[in-house]
């Protein structure tokens, strides 16, 4: 994060060097140049508000020059729940899908266009480079630490399953969604829903939700 905040000009130079090397190797049109940004780029105070005007301009040029823009997505997945009900119940799958649309809309408008000066047509194709739901549940998907009681773990497992079902619902919709793909983060407790790292981490409900969505 700090390498982008304090040295966007260096990323510009790296991109130029990568383009030159791609051309030298005869890989133009075969290899795409992308950058998987942390979700903190979506939070103005974490990135763009810490940058100088010149730095924001350089970051805008860098993103404009990418072939693909990838973004880890760990924003609040309860954001579309009506205010009066927030914190009283988990979001529905549709509300999680709506929350992802809202996060994308805000990112494009507030960060890429307003803060970094890109026109809508200059924004590279977008993909979700990392997705998961950790110890913080749907409200704080990126939070991974903290002990939980068995009852809390059971409730969290259901939230994790809802989160993955919501991601797939988001990827299937045509309104408000432009992300072309998503990668799952599957390392560590709560994120390893398939149990590949440890069988005890597996989340059968989340896996079933994914299989059901892919079978449609």
Residue 216 has a pLDDT of 77
Q: CA-to-CA distance for 7 and 1, rounded, in angstroms?
A: 10
Domain total of the chain = 1
Q: CA-to-CA distance for 36 and 72, rounded, in angstroms?
A: 7
Strands (E), the chain: 34-37, 68-73, 126-131, 182-184
Apex CA 126: angle with CA 120 and CA 130, to 5°? 145
Range of the domain at 128: 2-215
Residue 92 has a pLDDT of 97
CB contact at 8 A, 91 and 78: yes
Residue 146 has a pLDDT of 86
> 95: which residues sit within 8 A by CB, 6+ positions away?
78, 80, 81, 166
Q: Give the number of residues written for the chain.
A: 216
Predicted TM-score of the model (pTM): 0.93
Reduced to 3 states, what is the DSSP secondary structure of residue 198?
Answer: coil
Residue 99: how many CB atoms within 10 A of its CB? 22
10-residue mean pLDDT series, the chain (216 residues): 95 98 97 97 96 97 98 97 92 98 97 98 97 96 90 95 97 94 95 96 94 84
Q: CA-to-CA distance for 173 and 94, rounded, in angstroms?
A: 10
């Amino acid at each position: 994060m700090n390498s982008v905040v304090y040295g966007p000009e260096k990323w510009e130079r790296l991109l130029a060097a990568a383009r030159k090397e791609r051309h030298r190797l005869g890989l133009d049109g075969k290899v795409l140049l992308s950058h998987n940004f942390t979700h903190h780029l979506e939070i103005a105070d974490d990135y763009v508000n810490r940058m100088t005007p010149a730095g924001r301009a350089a970051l805008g040029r860098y993103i404009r020059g990418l072939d693909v823009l990838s973004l880890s997505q760990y924003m609040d997945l309860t954001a579309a729940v009506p205010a009066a009900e927030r914190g009283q119940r988990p979001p529905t799958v549709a509300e999680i899908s709506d929350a992802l649309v809202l996060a994308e809309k805000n990112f494009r408008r507030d960060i890429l266009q307003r803060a970094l000066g890109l026109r809508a047509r200059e924004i590279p194709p977008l993909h979700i480079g990392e997705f998961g739901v950790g110890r913080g549940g749907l409200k704080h998907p990126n939070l991974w630490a903290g002990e939980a009681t068995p009852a809390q773990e059971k409730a969290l497992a259901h939230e994790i399953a809802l989160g993955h079902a919501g991601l797939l619902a988001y990827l299937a919709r045509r309104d408000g969604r432009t992300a072309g793909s998503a990668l799952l983060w599957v390392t560590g407790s709560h994120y390893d829903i398939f149990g590949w790292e440890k069988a005890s981490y597996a989340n059968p409900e989340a896996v079933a939700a994914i299989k059901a969505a892919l079978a449609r």
